[in-house]
Amino acid sequence: MIFEDQLASLESDSKKVGTQGENIDFALLVDGLTAEREQGITIDVAYRFFATDKRKFIVADTPGHEQYTRNMATGASTADVAILMVDARKGILTQTRRHSFITSLLGIRKVVLAINKMDLINYSQQAYDDIVDDFYAFADELATDLEIQPIPMSALEA
């Protein structure tokens, strides 16, 4: 849920600095630093709150780039669940493994493996399966009690 004032601000910001053409750039909800918007990356941890009738959530959007790994660790330090974003075109990279290792060290046992940009690989089942298999093989070395939920997705096309 996005409040009306946030949506109005998001629409305005999307027109000024968004990367999605005429569409709303939802990354701007959490990428508030000027440098983040200019570079199109997350640098600092940003927190967003939302609630349903049954549960309250705090989302910590953390950076994925290697030079900001400490910020990722800070954001993940109080998490119950980790969402690891994987570019479907690239698969499991060193940084994905690094973030997985950090979440394991922090005691996070619930992991959503969000395999993004599936639209860019024509929703290839084989590519998806290869990424999932690769991650499970790596995760077996981290902890035996991980709960992993892989999800194919396209952030832009749903």
Q: What is the CATH number of the domain that holds 145?
A: 3.40.50.300
Same domain, 26 and 83: no
**Residue range 57-102, pLDDT digits in tens:** 888 877 777 777 788 888 889 899 999 999 999 999 999 999 999 9
Question: Is residue 87 domain-shared with residue 150, that is, in the same domain?
Answer: yes
pLDDT at residue 42 in the model: 65
Ramachandran bin of 117, using left for φ above 0, alpha for ψ from -120 to 50, beta for the remaining angles: left
Model confidence pLDDT, tens digit, residues 30-67: 656 565 556 565 667 778 787 889 989 888 877 777 77
Supply the range of the domain harboring residue 120. Answer: 79-158
Predicted local confidence at residue 33, as pLDDT: 54
Helix, strand or coil, per DSSP, at residue 112:
strand
Q: Are residues 43 and 101 in the same domain?
A: no
Q: What is the rounded distance in angstroms from the CA atom of residue 80 to the CA atom of residue 74? A: 13
Question: Does residue 25 lie within any of the structural domains?
Answer: yes
Among 31, 62, 93, the domain boundary falls at 62
102, part of any domain: yes
Same domain, 104 and 153: yes
Same domain, 51 and 100: no
Predicted model pTM: 0.74
